[in-house]
């Protein structure tokens, strides 16, 4: 747009991507956000110092802070967002619910006045029927809510809800609604200018969330047809118009299994998931917000809005799915976004990120590393793009949820569009462990493993005999043997490279696979096609073969000569190949501390030991609930990689 931009940043964000991308940047305080991104005075100073004409508040932080918007307007600076009155009104869930009723927007059956006494709450609940939900008027986004199943719990729930609301928001008003079970979260994007024009840009579905943290969002929703879209859109526009809304905003609904929709709240900011709407409408929402703030008229009418194809967004979080999705921190020692490889030509993948290789993910802010957004003609196509892009995304140094996202994308119910806000907890429970079992097509992995092994064997044979000992020299004279056995998830697949003729043909247990795409041993990605289907696999080499990461599966692959594989089957089953009850040192190092005792009960994620290696302390955590059976090391011991530190029962 040709507008000079100035980024503000905290001490922790000196090297952050947004700092590089802006025309200029200014430091506003220390890492904790209270001193920087939430420090209104520091930002106002930065505005004054740089002569900025307007401030875009982004999302989170001060984006829905009416006081901040007011201070800006007082100093003659435009707040790129809605009027202060709309922020205030929508921040009050009791007032906004009443406003919605007045504007003819359906709301959840209940009572839009504060409830004060347990007896009052019991009377209302009896009228609307259990289960009911208590909500703090100043809450929102899941904060300050209590689910109540029966009259016996309601008094206690009300007392604790009111006191929590008072403590958190300084506003103890609580209201009561019927609890809608298994709802879908569907929201309508609205845009309004200062000339009285208000339109909607269709819906986004955000049902895939964990503990009120959205994980996957999409537009449109597989649950919404043209008729419902028109109805929800019209109500959202009516509500926005009723509060003289200006700028981009989102009207959030829950939709029950019978397609009844109910207003929940209105978010008076740009939302994290806005790219999916941008992808399907072709509009740039931030550009629209800036034009609206500058007093321009919307250049489109409702009838101009088209929803094209399907867009899907995955939030790549620094978190540990194995340890119950605990936030993770660390340095991105390797960070490579998809589409930088062979697929980088089309416009179906977008990445909005705040980090680059070498950056540190700190504990100060939200653990989101990037948003990966894909587009396709159909929902299936958008999902396929997403699966491929997830396979291509390399994040090392910080534990992440890429495998979990890939598993979500492959989940049959997700693919069928059968979503509710309980999807993740119902289908995955409270953690996720990637495995090599149940990959949909292990033979494809075996075929690729065969090709990669062929590359390695070819290399070995090409090494000049002069650089090798006599044994290699004789080996050089032998014909290249291209029969191997790929062992994957305890299954043996005989593999033969039949031809090498530009494309490779691989026979896996008699099935023919044509594999294209190059790979060299330095590459951490295999990108190519198997039988014409594009495929991307992350490849880790190890002594026995490979570790593949594909579609959220971790596949450990061994490759052996047929004779060796045959011998392996004759060998007695190893006494104990199951190491899941062992805590082993991930690297050679020194035991700094043992943090549990024999006989102690531990829970998934508890710290059990600390190992120091290369001056870095590495904490080891329990990977399941259990009881410590035996401890094999003491502080001060040096340990080898994979040396057993302790056993669980
Ligand atoms: C509800 C509800 C069921 N019934 N209200 C959570 C966030 C806040 N915006 C309101 N929320 C809910 N309100 C009634 N009457 C279920 C939720 C809810 C939810 C809503 C949207 C997205 C995810 C959610 C996860 C749990 C609960």
How many angstroms separate the alpha carbon of residue 142 from the centre of ligand 1? 7
Q: Which atom of ligand 1 is nearest to the CA of 209?
A: 23
* pLDDT (tens digit per residue) in 220-258: 999 999 999 999 999 999 999 999 999 999 999 999 999
> Which of 161, 254, 255, 261 for a ligand 1 pocket mutation test, highest count of atoms within 8 Å of Cβ?
254
Distance from C-alpha of 236 to C-alpha of 104, rounded to nearest angstrom = 10
What pLDDT does 546 receive?
95
| Strand (E) or helix (H) holding 279 | helix 274-281
Reported as a pLDDT band with limits 50, 70 and 90, residue 481 is low
Pairwise CA distance, residues 361 & 395, whole Å: 12
pLDDT of amino acid 573 = 60
Is 70 exceeded by the pLDDT of residue 341? Answer: no
Peptide bond into 416 cis (omega under 30): no
Location of structure tokens 């799915």? 321
Beta carbons within 8 Å of 542's beta carbon, 6+ residues apart: none
Tell me the CA–centroid distance for residue 137 and ligand 1, in Å: 14
For 80-89, the pLDDT digits (tens) are 999 999 999 9
Q: What is the pLDDT of residues 271-308, one digit of tens each?
A: 999 999 999 999 999 999 999 999 999 999 999 999 99
Question: Residue 468 has what pLDDT?
Answer: 42
At 26, the pLDDT band (50, 70, 90 cuts) reads: very high
Which comes out higher in pLDDT, residue 482 or 383? 383
Question: Quick one: how far is CA 623 from the chain centroid?
Answer: 21
Distance CA 222, CA 276 (A): 14
* Proportion of the chain in helix, strand, coil states, percent, rounded to 5: 30, 35, 35
Confidence label for 473 from pLDDT (cuts 50, 70 and 90): very low
- Which residues, including other chains, have CB under 8 Å from residue 584's CB and lie 6 or more apart? 642, 643, 644, 645
Ligand 1 centre distance from Cα of residue 512 (Å): 50
Question: In this predicted model, what pLDDT tens digit does every residue of 577-620 receive, in sequence order?
Answer: 677 788 988 878 899 999 999 999 998 878 899 988 766 778 88
CA dihedral 266, 268, 269, 273 (to 10 degrees): 10
> Taken in order 237, 240, 241, 247, is the CA torsion positive or negative?
negative
pLDDT at 387: 94
> Measuring from atom 7 of ligand 1, which residue has the nearest CA?
142
Q: What kind and span of H or E run contains 158?
A: helix 151-169
Residue 212 alpha carbon to ligand 1 centre in Å = 8
pLDDT at 209 > cutoff 50: yes
**181 CA: nearest ligand 1 atom:** 3
Compute the distance from residue 315 Cα to the ligand 1 centre, in Å. Answer: 20
- Per-residue confidence (pLDDT) for residue 462, from 0 to 100: 63
Average pLDDT over the chain, rounded to an integer:
91
In this structure, the residue with its CA closest to atom 15 of ligand 1 is 179
In this structure, the residue with its CA closest to atom 21 of ligand 1 is 185
The secondary structure element, H or E, covering residue 134 is: strand 132-140
pLDDT at 464: 46
Q: What is the mean pLDDT of residues 452-466?
A: 72
Statement: residue 475 has pLDDT above 60: no
* Closest by CA position to 516, among listed 505, 223, 183, 431: 505
pLDDT reported for residue 144: 86
Give me the pLDDT at residue 469, please.
46
State the average pLDDT over residues 211-220. 96
3-class DSSP state for residue 83?
coil
Residue ranges of domains in the chain, CATH in brackets: 6-87 (3.40.50.20), 109-178 (3.30.1490.20), 309-420 (3.30.470.20), 442-568 (3.30.700.30), 582-648 (2.40.50.100)
- For atom 20 of ligand 1, the residue with the nearest CA is 185
The answer to whether 485 and 450 have CB atoms below 8 angstroms apart is: no
Query: What integer is the mean pLDDT of 332-354?
Result: 79
Q: What's the pLDDT band for 476 if we cut at 50, 70, 90? A: very low
Residue located via tokens 């026995």: 544
pLDDT of residue 603: 86
Residue nearest to atom 5 of ligand 1 (CA): 179
Confidence class for position 54, pLDDT limits 50, 70, 90: very high
Atom in ligand 1 nearest the alpha carbon of residue 108? 15
pLDDT above 70 (res 480): no
**Alpha helix locations (H) across 393-469?**
402-410, 412-415, 423-428, 442-462
Q: For residue 495, give both structure tokens.
A: 């593999």
Rounded to the nearest angstrom, the distance between the alpha carbon of 185 and the centre of ligand 1 is 8
- pLDDT tens digits, 433-451: 887 767 889 999 999 999 9
Ligand 1, atom 11, lies closest to the CA of 142
In this structure, which residue's CA is closest to atom 13 in ligand 1? 264
SS3 20: helix
At 124 the pLDDT is 93
Q: What is the Cα gyration radius of the chain?
A: 29
Partners of 331 in the β-ladder: 360
Q: Which residues line ligand 1 (CB under 6 A)?
A: 108, 133, 140-142, 177-180, 183, 185, 209, 212, 252, 254, 264-265, 421
Q: Cα(535)–Cα(525) distance, rounded to whole angstroms?
A: 10
* pLDDT given for residue 322 in this prediction: 87
Indicate the top mutation candidate among 90, 107, 112, 185 to test ligand 1's pocket, ranked by most ligand atoms within 8 A of CB.
185
Query: Which atom of ligand 1 is least distant from the CA of 142?
Result: 7
Of residues 80, 117, 267, the one with CA closest to residue 190: 267
Q: pLDDT: is 70 or 464 the higher one?
A: 70
Mean pLDDT to the nearest integer, 525-533: 92
What are the pLDDT digits (tens) for 126-142? 999 999 999 999 988 77
pLDDT of the residue at 271: 98
The pLDDT of residue 472: 39
Atom of ligand 1 minimally distant from the CA of 265: 9
List the catalytic residues: 265
Per-residue confidence (pLDDT) for residue 499, from 0 to 100: 64
What are the tokens at 493?
């697949």
Q: For residue 181, report the distance from its CA to the centre of ligand 1, in Å.
A: 9
Q: Residues 408, 387: contact at Cβ < 8 Å? A: no
């Amino acid at each position: 747009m040709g507008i000079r931009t100035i980024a503000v940043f905290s001490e922790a964000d000196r090297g952050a991507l947004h700092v590089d991308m802006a025309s200029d940047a200014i430091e506003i305080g220390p890492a904790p956000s209270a001193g920087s991104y939430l420090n209104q005075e520091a930002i106002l100073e930065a505005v004054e110092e740089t002569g900025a004409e307007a401030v875009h508040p982004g999302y989170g932080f001060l984006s829905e802070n009416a006081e901040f918007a007011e201070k800006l307007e007082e100093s003659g600076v435009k707040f790129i967002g809605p009027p202060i009155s709309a922020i205030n009104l929508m921040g009050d869930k009791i007032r906004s619910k009443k406003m919605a009723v007045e504007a003819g927007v359906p709301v959840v059956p209940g009572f839009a006045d504060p409830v004060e006494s347990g007896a009052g709450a019991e009377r209302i609940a009896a009228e609307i029927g259990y289960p009911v939900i208590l909500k703090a008027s100043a809450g929102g986004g899941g904060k300050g809510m209590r689910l109540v199943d029966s009259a016996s719990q309601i008094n206690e729930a009300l007392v604790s809800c009111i006191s929590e609301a008072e403590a958190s928001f300084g506003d103890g008003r609580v209201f009561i609604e019927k609890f809608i079970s298994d709802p879908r979260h569907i929201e309508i994007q609205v845009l309004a200018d200062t000339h009285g024009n208000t339109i909607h840009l269709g819906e986004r579905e955000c049902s895939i969330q964990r503990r009120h943290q959205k994980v996957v969002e999409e537009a449109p929703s597989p649950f919404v047809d043209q008729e419902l879209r028109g109805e929800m859109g019209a109500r959202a526009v009516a509500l926005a118009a009723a509060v003289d809304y200006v700028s981009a905003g989102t009207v959030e609904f829950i939709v029950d299994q019978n397609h009844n929709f109910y207003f929940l709240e209105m978010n008076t900011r740009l939302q994290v998931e806005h790219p999916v709407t941008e992808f399907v409408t072709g509009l740039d929402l931030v550009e629209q917000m800036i034009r609206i703030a500058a007093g321009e008229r919307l250049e489109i009418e409702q009838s101009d809005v088209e929803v094209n194809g399907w867009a899907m967004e995955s939030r790549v979080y620094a978190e540990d799915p194995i340890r119950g999705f605990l936030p993770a921190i660390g340095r991105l020692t390797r960070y490579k976004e998809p589409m930088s490889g062979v697929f980088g030509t089309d416009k179906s993948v977008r990445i909005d990120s705040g980090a680059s290789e070498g950056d540190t993910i700190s504990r100060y802010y939200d653990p989101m590393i990037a948003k990966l957004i894909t587009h396709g003609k159909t929902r299936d196509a958008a999902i396929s793009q997403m699966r491929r892009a997830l396979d291509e995304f390399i994040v090392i140094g910080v534990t992440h949820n890429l495998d979990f996202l890939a598993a979500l994308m492959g989940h049959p119910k997700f693919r069928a569009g059968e979503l509710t806000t309980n999807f993740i907890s119902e289908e995955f429970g409270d953690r996720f462990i990637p495995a090599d079992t149940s990959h949909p097509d292990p033979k494809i992995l075996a075929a690729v493993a065969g090709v990669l092994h062929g590359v390695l064997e070819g290399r070995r044979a090409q090494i000049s005999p002069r650089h090798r000992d006599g044994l290699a020299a004789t080996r050089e004279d032998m014909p290249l043997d291209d029969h191997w056995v790929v062992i994957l998830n305890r299954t043996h697949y005989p593999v033969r490279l039949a031809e090498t003729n530009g494309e490779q043909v691989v026979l896996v247990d008699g099935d023919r696979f044509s594999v294209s795409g190059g790979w060299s041993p330095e590459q951490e990605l295999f990108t190519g096609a198997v039988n014409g289907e594009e495929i991307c696999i992350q490849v880790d080499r190890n002594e026995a073969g490979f570790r593949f990461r594909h579609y959220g599966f971790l596949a450990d692959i061994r490759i052996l000569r047929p004779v060796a594989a045959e011998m392996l089957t004759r060998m007695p089953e190893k006494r104990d190949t199951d190491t899941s009850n062992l805590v082993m040192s991930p690297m050679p190092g020194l035991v700094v501390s043992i943090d549990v005792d024999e006989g102690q009960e531990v829970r998934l994620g508890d710290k059990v030991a600390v190992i120091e290696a290369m001056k870095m302390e590495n904490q080891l955590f329990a990977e399941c609930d259990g009881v410590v059976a035996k401890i094999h090391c003491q502080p001060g011991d040096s340990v080898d990689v994979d040396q057993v530190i302790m056993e669980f029962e």
